[in-house]
Amino acid sequence: MKFTDSPVIELPVRDALLSIQQDNGSMHVGTSVWPCSLVLAKFVERWAPPRPTTQPSDSNPYSRLLDFHNTRRRAVELGAGCGAAGMAFYLLGLTDIILTDISPVMPALKRNLKRNKPVLNKALKTSVLYWNNQDQIKALNPPFDVVIAADVVYIEESVGQLVGAMEALVADDGVVLLGYQLRSPEAHKLFWEMSEKVFEIEKVPHEDLHPDYGYEETDVYIFKKKKKENVE
């Protein structure tokens, strides 16, 4: 897989094509498309059942987790940036989704949602969310069945806020789908220490990623809240 700094990134999702405009010259990291969002989106595209399923499939270990058809699942994306992952999830059936980020990134996010409206056939919901803002978290009306986050672990100071937001937003029986790449050793260490206290963590084997969208340094993780009695 090749990543590019060209102004427009194209992301095929089933029979649709998302076109995402990035502004690599901006001082905000969220105005670029980061590899984790593409890797996460294409992992889900590979395994999300295209039609409602009546029973788990032997050939698809993720059929239950990623079947967005049977029950309407509420989803939120943290640090959505240009919206690549959130838009892809929407096209894959996660239709009740809200994309969040900090205020300065909102114009880039909204521009890309508008740009892709002909493909999405809908104006997706957005909301400003700073991970340490409890009022903004409450205003989203958690819990969510699915929390999506791609390439959001890179500043040590915000790791506690991020893990706190994930914990506050995801339902006890919900799931966090994380696209991850090591960006800062300090943030990395703290993130995994904190996450392991709150979540049961499953790493998706690399061979389960989309063959055209695998990247040695990029991983997908599935977090589920630890049952209360198992929390350390």
Enumerate binding residues for ligand SAM (CB under 6 A): 28-30, 33-34, 36-37, 79-82, 84, 101-102, 105, 129-131, 150-152, 158, 161
The residue among 62 and 89 lying less far from ligand SAM, judged by its C-beta, is 89
Separation between Cα atoms, residue 112 and residue 162, nearest integer Å: 24
State in angstroms the smallest separation of the CB of 149 from ligand SAM. Answer: 7
Q: Is 216 helix (H, G, I), strand (E, B) or coil?
A: coil
In 3D, which of 26, 69, 28, 70 has the Cα closest to residue 154?
Answer: 28
State in angstroms the smallest separation of the CB of 185 from ligand SAM. Answer: 16
- Residue 211: is the preceding peptide bond cis (ω within 30°)? no
**For 227, which DSSP code?**
P
State in angstroms the smallest separation of the CB of 139 from ligand SAM. Answer: 14
The residue among 34 and 199 lying less far from ligand SAM, judged by its C-beta, is 34
The residue among 130 and 192 lying less far from ligand SAM, judged by its C-beta, is 130
State in angstroms the smallest separation of the CB of 33 from ligand SAM. Answer: 5
Tell me the residue type at 30. Answer: G
The residue among 63 and 136 lying less far from ligand SAM, judged by its C-beta, is 136
- Residue 178: which residues within 8 A CB-CB, separation 6 or more? 40, 149, 150, 220, 221, 222, 223
The residue among 129 and 146 lying less far from ligand SAM, judged by its C-beta, is 129
State in angstroms the smallest separation of the CB of 77 from ligand SAM. Answer: 7
State in angstroms the smallest separation of the CB of 53 from ligand SAM. Answer: 28
The residue among 63 and 161 lying less far from ligand SAM, judged by its C-beta, is 161
Q: What is the pairing mode between strands 170-181 and 218-225?
A: antiparallel
Lookup: tokens for 42 = 């294409």
Q: Is 52 left (phi over 0), alpha (psi -120 to 50) or beta?
A: beta
Beta strands across the sheet bearing 170-181: 125-128, 96-101, 74-78, 144-150, 170-181, 218-225, 199-203
